[in-house]
């Protein structure tokens, strides 16, 4: 869209030059617009090359939703044609809070718990085949279940973080849903009933 505006300005400037007029304001506007357009094209090409060099990431899990204390099999497939200096799979818990400050509504996110599941060093690509691995994860027995309300949420996720050659670190996020352990609701109701009686 930005470069379409630059083309329109360039055509207008070219028509002015062909007609024997020179609009210095138009040329003054065209120069910074053209520079920003060239930078945008460069950033787009860099991201495109990064996406094709690193390739897609696929993650499969043996069950969903998950329960605290459960063990689950995971299959990871990481495409790409570059060598990875490091790949790391993490299990993370992120809390999100939305609140009002004056007239502004703000949303804050913070990872409050993180555990490294597995790390791989110096992963070399095999032509025509992605890097694939099978592993098993175990959720903590006291894990808080996933939760979402109007102003707060508790979100679990698997994060694959990697560094490839001289490229910046990339992150692929796979959200998880964790439901309460069996009997948790019943224990909660029983505790509320005892409190009401006393």
Residue 159 to residue 37: CA distance in whole angstroms: 34
Compare 152 and 187 and report the one with higher pLDDT: 152
Query: Cβ-count burial of 80 within 10 angstroms (0-12 exposed, 13-18 middle, 19+ buried)?
Result: buried
Residue 154 to residue 97: CA distance in whole angstroms: 9
Helix spans in the chain (H): 2-18, 24-54, 184-197
Q: 63's torsion region: left (phi>0), alpha (psi -120 to 50) or beta?
A: beta
- Answer whether 29's CB lies under 8 Å from 8's CB: no
Looking from the CA of 120 toward its CB, the CA atoms found within 13 Å total 20
Mean per-residue pLDDT for 40-46?
86
Residues 97-106 have pLDDT tens digits of 999 888 889 9
Confidence of residue 184 (pLDDT cuts 50, 70, 90): low
Residue 25 to residue 166: CA distance in whole angstroms: 42
Mean per-residue pLDDT for 20-40?
81
Residues 77-98 have pLDDT tens digits of 988 778 888 999 999 999 999 9
Residues 138-168 have pLDDT tens digits of 999 998 899 999 899 999 999 999 988 777 7
């Amino acid at each position: 869209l930005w470069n379409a505006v630059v083309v329109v300005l360039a055509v207008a400037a070219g028509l002015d030059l062909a007609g024997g007029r020179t609009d210095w304001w138009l040329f003054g506007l065209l120069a910074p617009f053209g520079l920003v357009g060239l930078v945008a094209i460069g950033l787009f090409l860099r991201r495109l090359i990064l996406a094709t060099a690193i390739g897609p990431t696929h993650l499969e899990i043996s069950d969903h939703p998950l329960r605290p204390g459960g063990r689950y099999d995971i299959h990871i497939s990481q495409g790409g044609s570059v060598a990875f200096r490091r790949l790391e799979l993490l299990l993370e818990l992120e809390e999100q809070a939305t609140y009002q400050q004056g007239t502004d509504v703000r949303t804050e996110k913070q990872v409050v718990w993180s555990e490294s599941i597995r790390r791989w060093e110096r992963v070399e690509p095999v032509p025509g085949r992605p890097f694939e691995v099978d592993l098993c994860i175990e959720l903590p027995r006291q894990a808080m279940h996933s939760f979402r309300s109007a102003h707060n949420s508790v979100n679990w996720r698997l994060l694959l973080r990697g560094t490839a050659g001289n490229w910046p670190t990339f992150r692929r996020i796979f959200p998880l849903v964790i439901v309460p352990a069996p009997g948790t609701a019943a224990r909660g109701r029983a505790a509320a009933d005892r409190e009401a009686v006393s």
